Each structure stands twice: as structure tokens, then as C-alpha cells.
Amino acid sequence: MELLKKRILQDGKCFPGGILKVDSFINHQMDPTLMYEIGKEFMARFKDRPINKIVTIEASGIAPAIFVGYLMHLPVVFIKKKQPKTMENMLTSVVHSFTKDRDYTVCISSNFLCADDHILFIDDFLAFGNAAKGVIDLCKQSGATIEGMGFIIEKAFQGGRKVMDDENIKVESLAIVEDLSDCKIVLR
């Protein structure tokens, strides 16, 4: 995805500690044209899988997941970071946020994640794989099958891909950051 890589190099900002800020076009202010292209790319990369549902985690994964769901004509379900009092048949898992350096108990209703589901998980970043671990846990609880996981940006130097490799899950990252040392963005 050359368009995405160009935007990361042009508009991305690096902060100490391996933080890449892309809030001007992905996860605060969004570029809908870029999101549409991201959706098309994920659709192309996972077209051979028997997916019947797109799953993401709030909040930054919702926009790309909606575009993927729209293009693939599939429902989109998002895992919540706050437990609503009205949720029935709740499944929960604990996820650590690298960016916010805190743990969240995330939840999803088993009404929307069940053993018949073959899911594609979409998220903005793959860093240490913490969100992926939570999704894997929720899918194991529900009996759902993970057909793949797609990330807009993977920070390869943080090793999160190993989480999915250990579970034999297909992973597709649209842009891979090799290094952010000295606040210089180096893409693969």
C-alpha cells in the first residue's frame, strides 16, 4: 500500500518509546479516501477465506472495519472497552493498551460472536499483540474461528506478530514499521 506508506512518512509523527502518531489521518481525524483504499486492500488479501463477520476493538479499529465490512457485505461487531449493564451473554478478556499503558476488561456478547462465526479481525496497529491476545481469548471462549487478522500498521520491532504465528493465524499488515529509533520512521 504505497498510498498508506506515503502518508505515514509524510504525516506520521514519532515519539520516544516506539510510539507512532498517525492521528491526522487514521485514528483521530480520518481520511475516508484512504480508509476506503485500506478496506479494498484487506478485502483483496482475505478474499480466499470463508469469513462471515468482521470484528474489531473500539475505538480506532472501527473505521477500517466498517469499510471492510461494507466492501465484503458482512456485519461488523466491535469489542467494547467498557462493560455495559445491558449486555447479555457477556464474554470478557483483559487487554493491555501499549499507548495508554493500562489494562482494559473488554467484552462482547456471545450473541454476536459464536461457534458458527468465521471472523476477520481488523485493527489500526499491531505492536506487542495485546489486542490480538484478547481477541484470540474471546474467540476461544465463544468457539468462533479466526480466519485472519489485518492491521493497518505493524510495528515489527515490538514483536506482536509472534502471538498470531504461535496460533497459526493468517496476518496481513498494510505497512510495516521496522524501526522508530531516534524518532526516524523506517518502513519495510
3-class SS at 42? helix
C-alpha cell at 23: 492521528
Q: Give which of 150, 153, 169 is closest to 67, Cα–Cα.
A: 150
pTM score above 0.85: yes
Identify the pLDDT of residue 153.
97
DSSP structure class, residue 39: H
Spans of the chain below 70 pLDDT: 99
Identify the pLDDT of residue 87.
86
Identify the pLDDT of residue 147.
98
Taking only the tens place, the pLDDT of each residue in 65-115 is 999 999 999 999 999 988 888 888 889 999 987 767 888 899 999 999 999
Q: Give which of 160, 118, 148, 124 is closest to 38, Cα–Cα.
A: 124
Question: 151: Cβ–Cβ under 8 A, 6 or more apart, which residues?
Answer: 122, 123, 124, 125, 126, 171, 172, 173, 174
Contact in structure between 57 and 96 (CB atoms under 8 Å): no
